[in-house]
C-alpha cells in the first residue's frame, strides 16, 4: 500500500523499547512522526537524525498532554504506547505510591492522550483517524504478583472497546495490540528466568521487537473503514496459552 507523505502519527513512550522501534519503522516508511516522551535526549536518539517532531512530555500531566497535542496541525494515528511496570509482589506488599505511579502512566496517561487525539481527529478536516492502544498479554492472563500492571492493562481494554464505539460517528477507529515477550530492556529479564504460576523460575522465549513495529505499521496503514480491534502478537512458545 502506497502511503501519502502527509500521513502523520504520534507515538508516546517513544524514547525506548517498543516506542523507539515503532517510531523508527514509521520514519523509515516515510510517515510524519511526532515522538513524545519524558526525556528529550532519548527522543533525539530514537530519531537518529531523521526529521521528526520531538515533544518532551509526561503523559500523566493533563496540561502537558493538552499543550503537546495543540502543536499538531493534524493527526492520522496515535500509538498510545507509554507504560511502566512495577516489581512483582503480593498486593499487600505493594506500596500504594507504586500503584499510583503505575495507574498515572498506564491508565490516566492512556486516557489523556486518547482524549486529546480523539478531540483533534473529530474536528480536523477531513475528520477521522486511528488510535492504537498498547495493551498486554496481561490484559488476558496475569503474571504472579502483578496486580497494578494487570489492572492497568484491563483498563486499557475497556478504553479500546469504548473508543471503538464512540469513534464510529467521527470516522475514528480504535485498536489494541497485546504484546507478549518482545525483547526490550524491560523484557530482558525473561531471558534470565522469571516466576511462573506453578512456583518455579523459568527462562521464557522472546521475539524481536521489530515484529511489533511492523505489526503496528500494518494496523496504522489500513483504511479507516477497516479495523483490527484486538491483535495478539507474542513469542510463539511463551507460557500464555497454557499459563497457570
User: What are the residue numbers of the active site?
Assistant: 149
DSSP SS3 for 129? strand
- Bridge partners of 223, per DSSP, are none
30: left (phi over 0), alpha (psi -120 to 50) or beta: left
Give the E-state strand segments of the chain in sequence order: 8-12, 32-37, 53-56, 77-80, 129-134, 172-180, 182-183, 194-195, 201-202, 207-208, 230-234
Q: DSSP assignment, residue 3? A: P
Question: Which string of b and e fits 5-37 if b means at least 16 CB within 10 Å?
Answer: eebbbbbbbbbbbbbbbbbbbbbebebbbbbbb
Largest CA distance in the chain: 55
Amino acid at each position: 500500500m502506497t502511503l501519502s507523505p502527509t500521513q502523520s502519527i504520534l507515538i508516546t513512550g517513544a524514547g525506548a523499547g517498543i516506542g523507539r522501534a515503532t517510531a523508527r519503522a514509521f520514519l523509515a516508511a516515510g510517515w510524519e512522526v511526532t515522538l513524545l516522551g519524558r526525556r528529550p535526549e532519548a527522543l533525539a536518539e530514537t530519531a537518529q537524525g531523521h526529521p521528526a517532531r520531538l515533544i518532551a512530555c509526561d503523559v500523566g500531566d493533563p496540561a502537558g498532554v493538552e499543550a503537546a497535542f495543540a502543536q499538531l496541525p493534524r493527526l492520522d494515528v496515535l500509538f498510545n504506547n507509554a507504560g511502566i511496570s512495577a516489581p512483582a509482589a503480593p498486593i499487600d506488599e505493594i506500596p500504594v505510591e507504586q500503584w499510583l505511579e503505575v495507574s498515572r502512566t498506564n491508565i490516566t496517561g492512556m486516557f489523556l492522550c486518547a482524549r486529546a487525539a480523539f478531540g483533534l481527529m473529530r474536528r480536523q478536516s477531513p475528520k477521522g483517524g486511528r488510535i492504537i492502544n498498547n495493551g498486554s498479554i496481561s490484559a488476558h492472563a496475569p503474571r504472579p504478583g502483578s496486580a497494578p500492571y494487570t489492572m492497568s492493562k484491563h483498563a486499557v481494554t475497556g478504553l479500546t472497546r469504548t473508543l471503538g464505539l464512540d469513534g464510529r460517528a467521527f470516522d475514528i477507529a480504535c485498536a489494541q495490540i497485546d504484546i507478549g515477550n518482545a525483547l526490550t530492556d524491560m523484557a530482558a529479564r525473561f531471558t534470565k528466568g522469571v516466576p511462573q504460576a506453578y512456583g518455579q523460575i523459568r527462562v521464557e522465549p522472546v521475539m524481536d521487537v521489530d515484529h511489533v513495529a511492523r505489526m503496528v505499521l500494518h494496523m496504522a496503514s489500513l483504511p479507516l473503514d477497516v479495523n483490527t480491534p484486538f491483535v495478539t502478537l507474542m513469542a510463539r512458545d511463551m507460557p500464555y496459552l497454557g499459563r497457570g
